[in-house]
Structures are given as structure tokens and as C-alpha cells.
């Protein structure tokens, strides 16, 4: 077997042999295929990059048919069960698990950098009283580039490292303050005696008590959710970070672009839609009628189906278990019963089986977030905090990859050509 592709251009009768490497051909090789010497080379048309590899990456592996997700080779199930978010963040950023000394230093550094400049607080206070927390998070992360102008020195490894630490450390502070802002509550400063996730809960919910003491089961559940969201290879927001980062801008600007991408309902917002759907169904007895509506094409079963996973999303299984743990503390969410029954029926129904539609990460996460008493606008902020190490791991890979270039896709031009311009004074007279 030869690892090559033979293409015959029927316009010219010329045959080309293109090498196949790692299951791909190089788009630049296609560019050598021309109808005439001076004509532009052949290109691929791929809106949404659904079949285009934009990079080589060693961060995250997904096999959607088998329902496999691995960070740096480690299965997500094992990391969720036995690791914690900061250790997973280290793994994603550094490529391997930390020694005890490396772990302690990493946790110390992240904890030390949780505070932000007081001026960050002042400008966040300037947002409208009802500002969406994702808009506030996106703007404040972007604004960090003005507080750390040295971050533009992206070719220096030490410099990159400190920005990575700062961003992972400050994201919960900015996220929690965005939440407090819309509630009209005072911003809470970090409590560096607490773990990363316990401190986040403190900054979200602390009122007059001297120390906020979250239930460890809630801390574990939220920490696990951060792990599950920490990376998902070349998704829309990772691609946004890489695309903006390819201009060699500082990482705060690049990650801010990722937050913007995540904000959109096609990316980070499906769990909110699941909650709305469950509330609309209302009771178990309404489920059969709802399923019929889905099968007739009148609506979608939100939280089911995935572009990549054609099997049970491995993250959904873990979240389902965490949901049960959280409800032990908060009391059950009546919507859980509807979700469980819906899942049971859908997994047996031929419509869903035939189309390989299984629960995805969002099917249960909204239920957990609601039990924490987060308003739906906060769901995507939680996603963004979890995803930050992934964005940064992708960014680090990008800036150190000699093959990467500024992102600059081609287009197929469909507009007018060579018109003669008549000045407005003549056109309007």
C-alpha cells in the first residue's frame, strides 16, 4: 500500500501524486494543481472547517465513535475520578503530570496570583447594572493585556509561563465579580487559604461571614465540572484563540476572543436550553408527547447529539454521577426525574438509536448549576473558567509550532469586478 493520493485533473489530463501523512493531504499540494500555468491553484472549500486539520496537536484526543476523550493521553474518567482541576491544568499546560514539588509550586503560584489590580475592580464596577457576566469576563480578560504589557513578548518562555499562571489564577476572580456585579453585591476578594474551587465559591457566595465554608461535595462537583470542560481539541473557541493568537498578539487578547466564541448559543449555551426544555415538559406524563414532537421534527431533544460523539459523551456519564452527589447536599431538583426518564426513553427509541444520538455534556450540567443557584447567564462563565487551561495549552502549542502561520483562509469571490467609480457629486446630481 502506498501512502499517496493520485488525482487526475480532467481539465488538463495531468495526474498528480500527493503524499498522505497522518490521514491528511497538504492543502498546499493541491495548490500545485492548475488548469493553466498562471491560474490559481486548486483549493478546498470548507465552511466551518468540518474536514480540515488546522494544526498538529498533542493536547487532547477524541474518538467520537467510541466515546473516548483523553487529555495528554489520560482518560477523562480517571482524571475526573482521581485528579483535581489544578493538576489537570498543569497536565494540559506542561504535557505531563507534575512531581510533588512541581505540583506544590504550581498551586502556590496560581494561588498567589488570584488577586487583580484594584483598577480592574473599578472598571468592572463601571459596567451597566445588568451586564451579562460573559460580556464582563470577555472584556476584563482582554483588559488584562493593558495591565501586563510584557505579555506581548510571546517568544520568551518564562514570560509565557507567568501569563499562563496569571490567567488561570485570575479567571475565577473575574468570573465571580461578574456574577456579583449583576446581583448588586460587593465583590469578594480571594481567600488564599482555600483551594482553587473552594475560593471561587467563596468569591461567589460569601456575605458577612468571616470565612465561607462550602460543602466539600459541592467543591468536588464543581472541580470535576472544570476538569470535564478543560479542553476539547479544535472546537470553535480553541480555534478562535489559535486564529487570533496566530497574529502573535498577547494571550489575554487571544483568550478574550475564545471567551467571545464560547458566549455564542451554538457553543457554550446548550445547557441553558436543556433546562428550558425540561421546565417546559414539566411532568413525566408529558414526555411521550414531547418525544413524538421531536421525532416529527417539530423540535430537538436538547442535550442530545454531538458533532463529534456518536456514542455516549464520556463527560455526560461523569456529570450524571456528580449531579446525584450535588442533590444529596442541595435536595433533589424535580427536573432530574424528567431528565432521567427522558434519557431512558430516548436511549431505547429507534429514532435516537438509529441516528446515534446520546446525551452530551450539557444534558445534566445545567441541572447541577441550577442546584448551585447559578442563574443561566453564569453557566457559560463556569465553562470559560474550566476551559482556560485548554485555551492556553492550545495557544502555547501554536506559538511554539514552527509550521504555524497567521490564520488567513482563502475565499471564493462572488462579487462584482472592475466597475468604474463615479464620484457622489455626479451620481446624485
Q: Which three cell numbers stand for residue 357?
A: 444520538
Range 362-421, binding ligand ACO (CB under 6 A): 362
- Is the separation of the CB atoms in 174 and 140 below 8 Å? yes
Distance between CA atoms of residues 8 and 10, nearest Å = 6
* DSSP state at residue 189: P
CA angle 272, 174, 397 (to 5 degrees): 85
Tell me whether residue 364 is exposed, middle or buried, using C-beta atoms within 10 angstroms of its C-beta: 0 to 12, 13 to 18, 19 or more: buried
Least distance from ligand ACO to the Cβ atom of residue 156, Å: 34
- Is the separation of the CB atoms in 256 and 141 below 8 Å? yes
Least distance from ligand ACO to the Cβ atom of residue 275, Å: 12
Q: Is 300 in the site for ligand ACO (CB under 6 A)?
A: yes
**Binding residue count for ligand ACO, defined by CB under 6 A:** 16
Furthest CA-CA distance within the chain: 80
> Of 69, 63, 72, 80, which Cα lies nearest the Cα of 318?
80
Q: Is 343 in the site for ligand ACO (CB under 6 A)?
A: no
With CB under 6 A as the contact rule, the residue among 304, 358, 379, 395 that binds ligand ACO is: 304
Q: Is 361 in the site for ligand ACO (CB under 6 A)?
A: yes
Least distance from ligand ACO to the Cβ atom of residue 240, Å: 14
Q: Which stretch binds ligand ACO (CB under 6 A): 28-36, 77-85, 133-141, 298-306?
A: 298-306
Q: Is 302 in the site for ligand ACO (CB under 6 A)?
A: yes
Which are the catalytic amino acids? Answer: 267, 306, 362
Distance between CA atoms of residues 245 and 237, nearest Å = 12
Q: Which stretch binds ligand ACO (CB under 6 A): 9-17, 118-126, 156-164, 296-304?
A: 296-304
Q: Give the count of beta carbons closer than 10 Å to the beta carbon of residue 344.
A: 11
Q: Give the count of beta carbons closer than 10 Å to the beta carbon of residue 319.
A: 28
With CB under 6 A as the contact rule, the residue among 108, 155, 279, 307 that binds ligand ACO is: 307
With CB under 6 A as the contact rule, the residue among 303, 314, 386, 390 that binds ligand ACO is: 303
- Nearest to ligand ACO of 270, 336 (CB atom): 270
Contact footprint for ligand ACO (CB under 6 A): 267, 270, 294, 300-307, 355, 357, 360-362
Amino acid at each position: 500500500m502506498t501512502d499517496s493520493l493520485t488525482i487526475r485533473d480532467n481539465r488538463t489530463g495531468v495526474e498528480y501524486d500527493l503524499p498522505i501523512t497522518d490521514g491528511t493531504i497538504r492543502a498546499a499540494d493541491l495548490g500545485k494543481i492548475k488548469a493553466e500555468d498562471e491560474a490559481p491553484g486548486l483549493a478546498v472549500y470548507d465552511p466551518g472547517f468540518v474536514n480540515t486539520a488546522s494544526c498538529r496537536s498533542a493536547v487532547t484526543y477524541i474518538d467520537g465513535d467510541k466515546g473516548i476523550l483523553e487529555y495528554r493521553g489520560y482518560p477523562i474518567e480517571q482524571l475526573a475520578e482521581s485528579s483535581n482541576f489544578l493538576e489537570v491544568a498543569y497536565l494540559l499546560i506542561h504535557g505531563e503530570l507534575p512531581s510533588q514539588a512541581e505540583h506544590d509550586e504550581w498551586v502556590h503560584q496560581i494561588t498567589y496570583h488570584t488577586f487583580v489590580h484594584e483598577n480592574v475592580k473599578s472598571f468592572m464596577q463601571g459596567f451597566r447594572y445588568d451586564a451579562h457576566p460573559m460580556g464582563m469576563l470577555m472584556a476584563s480578560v482582554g483588559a488584562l493585556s493593558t495591565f501586563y504589557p510584557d505579555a506581548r513578548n510571546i517568544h520568551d518562555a518564562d514570560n509565557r509561563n507567568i501569563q499562563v499562571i496569571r490567567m488561570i489564577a485570575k479567571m475565577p476572580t473575574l468570573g465571580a465579580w461578574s456574577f456579583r456585579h449583576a446581583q448588586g453585591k460587593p465583590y469578594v476578594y480571594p481567600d488564599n487559604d482555600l483551594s482553587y474551587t473552594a475560593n471561587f465559591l467563596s468569591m461567589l457566595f460569601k456575605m458577612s461571614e468571616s470565612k465561607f465554608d462550602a460543602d466539600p461535595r459541592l467543591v468536588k462537583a464543581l472541580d470535576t465540572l472544570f476538569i470535564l470542560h478543560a479542553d476539547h481539541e479544535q472546537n470553535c473557541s480553541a480555534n478562535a484563540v489559535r486564529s487570533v493568537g496566530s497574529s502573535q498578539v498577547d494571550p489575554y487578547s487571544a483568550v478574550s476572543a475564545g471567551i467571545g466564541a464560547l458566549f455564542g448559543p451554538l457553543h457554550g449555551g446548550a445547557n441553558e436550553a436543556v433546562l428550558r426544555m425540561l421546565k417546559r415538559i414539566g411532568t413525566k406524563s408529558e414526555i411521550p408527547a414531547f418525544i413524538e414532537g421531536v421525532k416529527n421534527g417539530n423540535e430537538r431533544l436538547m442535550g442530545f447529539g454531538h458533532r463529534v460523539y456518536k456514542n455516549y459523551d464520556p463527560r455526560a456519564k461523569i456529570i450524571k454521577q456528580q449531579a446525584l452527589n450535588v442533590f444529596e447536599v442541595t435536595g433533589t431538583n424535580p427536573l432530574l426525574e424528567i431528565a432521567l426518564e427522558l434519557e431512558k426513553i430516548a436511549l431505547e427509541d429507534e429514532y435516537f438509536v438509529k441516528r446515534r444520538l446520546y446525551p452530551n455534556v450539557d444534558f445534566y450540567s445545567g441541572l447541577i448549576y441550577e442546584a448551585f443557584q447559578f442563574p443561566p447567564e453564569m453557566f457559560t462563565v463556569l465553562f470559560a473558567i474550566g476551559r482556560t487551561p485548554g485555551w492556553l495549552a492550545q495557544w502555547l502549542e501554536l506559538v511554539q509550532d514552527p509550521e504555524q502561520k497567521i490564520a488567513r483562509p482563502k475565499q471564493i469571490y462572488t462579487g462584482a469586478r472592475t466597475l468604474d467609480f463615479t464620484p457622489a457629486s455626479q451620481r446624485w446630481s
